[in-house]
Chain A
Amino acid sequence: MKIRLENVVKTFETFRAVKDVSLDIDSGELVALLGPSGSGKTTILRMVAGLEYSDGGTIHFGDQDATDIPVRDRGVGFVFQHYALFPHMTVADNIAFGMKVSKVKRDKAAIDARVTDLLRLVRLEGLGDRFPAQISGGQRQRVALARALAVDPKVLLLDEPFGALDANVRRDLRRWLREIHSELGITTLFVTHDQEEALDLADRVVILKDGQIVQQGTPEEVCRDPQSAFVMKFLGDANVIAAEVRDGRAYAGDVSVEAQGVADGRAELYARPSDLDWSHAGPGIAATISRVLDRADGRRVLATTVASETLEFDVEPERIVKAGEAGFVTLRRAKVFPV
């Protein structure tokens, strides 16, 4: 099912949560809505579900205008942030609920069979008789997903699906959700504030800020070509170096990088820690190492430049670096954004 949002607006009291958002999601696509809190991502998801009505714009499911269809009839599967499992029902009853209340009547045997299938799909065979309070957080998450899938939704919507879970469980569930998605091919939209989760899981990432889409594309596109300082910073650690742009090149110390399309004048260089390196000889940005942090997968170096900027970068574990050492930070690549 294709989803199409056109100029969607939502205002709460006086606060504009979503400003004129247009978005196309292809059939079978797995899309992440990524943004900091207050960026409007959950509001968009809830409007697609019909749990919130937009103040302007339209939402189409395929060729059908779904803007005014109530959530009951919209045919979406929604996984709530805190799962919203019915605490007084067993896992099996939770999963069966949607089928029991459906206008399409099913006999008990059919419902039981479907519940068994879904329990197998989410790998919870044998836990059907438990109550939500008796299973772990990761298991609840999977029950919530099974419950949403039970009604054969046209669209699957997940609100911070892994937000409440431990780091290890999150990673496992992420891979598993990806597998389920490949198996079922259902159009899926999920909300997260965790860039790693969005990049790991999604076919396409939609980045939001203050109720507007600032950039969208495949994980590769948004990572390799961030279009703004906000996206650059939001997707990962970034070093910021003051620079000067002249005739399409940005200069900082005695290094310069390509800066096509940036107006002359003051600008900032953005570079990932992996884009920097350390050298005893120039050219580079003169700096002194202030600290070395040893980590499992390498050494992170903090260096202070002559302009008192702190730069962070990683070096191989074998490399011998010491606090107090003077040298040059070299630049492999960087993005230039005007100030």
Chain B
Amino acid sequence: MRRRNVLPGLPLSLGVTLFYVGLIVVLPLAALVIKAASLGPADYWQIVSSPRAVASYRVTVLSALGATLFNLLFGLALAWVITRYRFPGRRIVDAMVDLPFALPTAVAGIALTALFANNGWFGSVLEGFGMKVAYTPLGIMVAMCFTSIPFVVRTVQPVLEDLDPALEEAAQSLGGSDWEIFRKVILPLLTPALLAGVSLSFARSLGEFGAIIFIAGNQPMSTEITSLLIFIRLEEYDYQAAAAIASVLLLTAFFMLGVTNWLQARALRYTVKG
């Protein structure tokens, strides 16, 4: 059977792609897995289940959950306001949504710290209410919120834009109130996109490093995120521990990648026509 391609360039382009992906992506991740696997099950388990590691998972996951919940509500409201309403400055708001992606994380980190420190603009006000943000788990949450806001907005926005007005008109003609129509017609249509955005936002929060370490305080057992613990193990030249804990983050990332891909495929199911 002859199997050839009509357009030229497959060997070159695919060759370059496979070589690059192999060298830049697969090789290092494989090296990390090999290093972690060289530990043996007992040692591996001891490292990844040490109290300090578990505490770091806890603060990372809980902060990410909190940040994601906030982004779910804020992101939905933001996407709604940008697509459904016309008001002066709408385009600027739309553009500003991308700032957290464009602003380097270290820059975001020191900026948020300056804002939320005791003597900062927000920190000093919040202190009056007895709230401390910087150097507490709340600070971690704030940093995670900032860096992952665009995910929910940018996945929900196109679906909201493409929403057929006739659906709402139909619901209105059937006598639905605004709230009922939102809950029973619009929200179900947005749900797949919302879930996809939420999972992207959560995954990003789990892996975030730069923005957090400035504001977190980095106290072991309370405000030390997993990424930082890896970094500390490296600085102690405990490469095995770093590899083991990094492998936990890597597995989580693969899991979230699977979840996100699945959710994103679903996110399009109401919008793709034909």
**A contact set with B: CB distance below 8 Å:** 50-56, 68, 70-71
Contact = CB atoms under 8 A, between A and B. Distances in A.
A55 B6 contact: no
B6 A50 contact: yes
Contact of B6 (A56, A68, A70): A70
For chain A, what secondary structure do more than half of its interface residues adopt (helix, strand, loop), or is it mixed? loop
Contacts of A51: 6
Given A50-B6, A56-B1, 12 more contacts: A51-B6, A52-B6, A53-B2, A53-B3, A53-B4, A53-B6, A54-B2, A55-B1, A55-B2, A68-B2, A70-B6, A71-B6
Contacts of A50: 6
14 contacts: A50-B6, A51-B6, A52-B6, A53-B2, A53-B3, A53-B4, A53-B6, A54-B2, A55-B1, A55-B2, A56-B1, A68-B2, A70-B6, A71-B6
B230 to A, nearest CB: 45
Nearest to A46: B6
A73 to B, nearest CB: 12
Contacts of B6: 50-53, 70-71
For chain B, what secondary structure do more than half of its interface residues adopt (helix, strand, loop), or is it mixed? loop
Contacts of A54: 2
Closest 5 CB pairs of A and B: A53-B4, A51-B6, A55-B1, A53-B2, A71-B6
Best-buried of A50, A51, A53, A71 by chain B (most CB within 10 Å): A53
Interface residues of B, number: 5
Interface of B: 1-4, 6
A106 B4 CA distance: 32
A169 to B, nearest CB: 25
Contacts of A52: 6
A68 B3 CA distance: 11
Nearest to B5: A53
A51 B65 CA distance: 52
A51 B3 CA distance: 12
A20 to B, nearest CB: 15
Nearest to A51: B6
A68 B6 CA distance: 11
Contacts of A71: 6
A54 B4 CA distance: 9
A47 to B, nearest CB: 10
Contacts of B4: 53
Nearest to B3: A53
Nearest to A9: B1
A55 B1 CA distance: 5
A129 to B, nearest CB: 30
A180 B136 CA distance: 81
A56 B1 CA distance: 7
Best-buried of B2, B3, B4, B6 by chain A (most CB within 10 Å): B6
Contacts of B3: 53
Contacts of A56: 1
A70 B9 CA distance: 13
A68 B1 CA distance: 13
Nearest to B1: A55
A70 B6 CA distance: 7
Contacts of B2: 53-55, 68
Nearest to B6: A51
Contacts of B1: 55-56
Nearest to B2: A53
Contacts of A68: 2
B266 to A, nearest CB: 26
A222 B230 CA distance: 78
B4 to A, nearest CB: 5
Nearest to A71: B6
Nearest to A67: B2
A64 B1 CA distance: 21
A245 B4 CA distance: 52
A52 B4 CA distance: 8
A71 B7 CA distance: 9
Nearest to A55: B1
A54 B3 CA distance: 8
A166 B3 CA distance: 38
A70 B4 CA distance: 10
A2 to B, nearest CB: 23
A68 to B, nearest CB: 8
